[in-house]
Amino acid sequence: MSYQNKIALSNVVDSKNNNFNLIRMLAALAVIISHSYALALGNRQLEPIKNLLGISLGSIAVDIFFITSGLLVTRSLLVRTNLKFFIISRVLRIFPALLVSVLFCVILGAYLSSFSLQNYMQDSELLNFIIYNATIILTDYQELPGVFYNAPFDRSVNGSLWTLPWELRMYVVLIGLGILSYVLKKAKITFPHVQIIVQAMIVFIALSSTALYLYFHFSENFHWFYYKFFRFSSAFFIGGGLYVLRKYIHLNAMWVITVLSLLLLALYMSKTTFFIAYIFSMPYVVLCAAYLPQGKILKYNNVGDFSYGTYIYAWPIQQTLAITIIGISPTNMSILAGIIVITLSVISWNLIEKPSMKLKRYFI
């Protein structure tokens, strides 16, 4: 593996020769490791990374997902300026694989349920699970009748799905900006000025969301919805803002080392200081990890993008391990779940996700 010591983001951001697929896959595996402590031991506070940093490995991974998504999805909207294609692309990326994973959970639940098959099929929880998780617009739904009642942590069937409605809400905000762009064009405002207005709003949302996220994080009284909204909009639109400001951003291997050193210093000072430093440094670290490493590492892109499948199948597999191998350790759960889930994600990518994404060409 080779490295580029210093590059301008604007020179590489449109290239497919990046490590985002690998970064997202590593993040998905990190979620499995993080969740293994809660699902095997019944207590999410026992995760070592959370105790060390004050933020869990799973939370870091989810932030990485939203930063990368913000960058790539914002680029997609601004480059194509085709709102219909943007919406169809997002729908095809998320929902076909999600629908199959919901069906997988329903079938797994029927096998594991303490209810008879007839009672399982007639229970209202089953219908709620299918409707809410298949649409995932408003919220997720975690219970299936008679399933995981004796799990160490709780009876949730696919706890990872809770972030998907937030991802969709970020898309809605971007769609709103796309509609604004359309309205401005109809008002006879020239294209360059429309682009400047939309890009300025993306940067403004990033800055204001980050400020409000920090405010709510350190506030004693806050509503959970606002806290989560500004957490995810901060990460997502920081990613989008980085694309907007790409001409002014340079990626430098030495700067990454400096940033990581400052993070260690911040952790030494306090977890609060570390958290603030983490919020502002993580996006730059992700960008450098995506574009600086070159050579053989890029061959991973030829394998596929298995991160989404890994993310949406991991929790039910981990819960199943928790109730079938009593007393399983977090390490063993991570290993066993990783093997099973990667297999499922490879199948999902090749049979569902990749073919679904190819349908986009019919809407260009």
Mind giving me the DSSP string for 229-262? HHHHHHHHHHHHHHHHTGGG-EEEHHHHHHHHHH
Task: Tell me what pLDDT residue 82 has.
Answer: 83
Residue 360's pLDDT band, with cuts at 50, 70 and 90, is confident
Residue 221's pLDDT band, with cuts at 50, 70 and 90, is confident
- Give yes or no for residue 343 having a pLDDT over 90: yes
C-alpha separations of 70 from 143, 169, 283, 347 in Å:
30, 12, 11, 26
Q: Which residue has the higher pLDDT, 69 or 221?
A: 69
Instruction: Average the pLDDT over 71-100 and give the result.
Output: 92
- Give yes or no for residue 363 having a pLDDT over 90: no
Whether residue 238 contacts residue 67, with contact meaning beta carbons closer than 8 Å, is answered with yes
Residue 134's pLDDT band, with cuts at 50, 70 and 90, is very high
Residues 1 and 159: their CA atoms lie apart, in Å, by 36
Residues 145 and 124: their CA atoms lie apart, in Å, by 8
- Give yes or no for residue 47 having a pLDDT over 90: yes
Instruction: Average the pLDDT over 340-358 and give the result.
Output: 97
Domain that residue 90 falls in = 2-363
Residues 126 and 109: their CA atoms lie apart, in Å, by 9
Residues 141 and 130: their CA atoms lie apart, in Å, by 8
Residues 39 and 152: their CA atoms lie apart, in Å, by 6
C-alpha separations of 188 from 76, 83, 191 in Å:
24, 18, 9
Q: How many domains does the chain have?
A: 1
The model's pTM: 0.95
Angle at 207 between CA 245 and CA 308, to 5 degrees: 75
Report CA dihedral (223, 227, 228, 233) to the nearest 10 degrees: 140
Render pLDDT for 298-333 as a digit per residue (tens, 0 to 9): 999 999 999 999 999 999 999 999 999 999 999 999
What type of residue sits at position 118? Answer: Q
Task: Tell me what pLDDT residue 126 has.
Answer: 97
Winning range, highest mean pLDDT, from 99-103, 189-193, 290-294: 99-103
Whether residue 283 contacts residue 242, with contact meaning beta carbons closer than 8 Å, is answered with yes
Task: Tell me what pLDDT residue 364 has.
Answer: 63
Two structure tokens written together for 317: 């597999």
Percent of the chain whose pLDDT exceeds 70: 99
C-alpha separations of 311 from 6, 35, 169, 238, 353 in Å:
33, 11, 19, 22, 13
Adjacent-strand bridge partners of 3: 293
Mean pLDDT of the chain: 94
Instruction: Average the pLDDT over 30-37 and give the result.
Output: 98
Beta strands in 139-281 (DSSP E): 250-252
Residues 6+ apart with CB under 8 A from 82: none
Whether residue 341 contacts residue 315, with contact meaning beta carbons closer than 8 Å, is answered with no
Backbone angles phi, psi at 13, to 5 degrees: -65, -25
Adjacent-strand bridge partners of 340: none
Long-range contacts of 53-58 (CB under 8 A, 24+ apart): 53/267, 53/271, 53/274, 53/278, 54/271, 54/272, 54/274, 54/275, 55/275, 55/278, 57/30, 57/31, 57/33, 58/30, 58/31, 58/34
Q: Which residue has the higher pLDDT, 6 or 176?
A: 176
Instruction: Average the pLDDT over 163-192 and give the result.
Output: 90
R_g of the chain, CA atoms, integer Å: 21
Residues 242 and 149: their CA atoms lie apart, in Å, by 45
- Give yes or no for residue 225 having a pLDDT over 80: yes
| From 74-78, 183-187, 258-262, the region with the lowest mean pLDDT | 183-187
Residue 362's pLDDT band, with cuts at 50, 70 and 90, is confident
Backbone angles phi, psi at 139, to 5 degrees: -165, 175
- Give yes or no for residue 189 having a pLDDT over 90: no
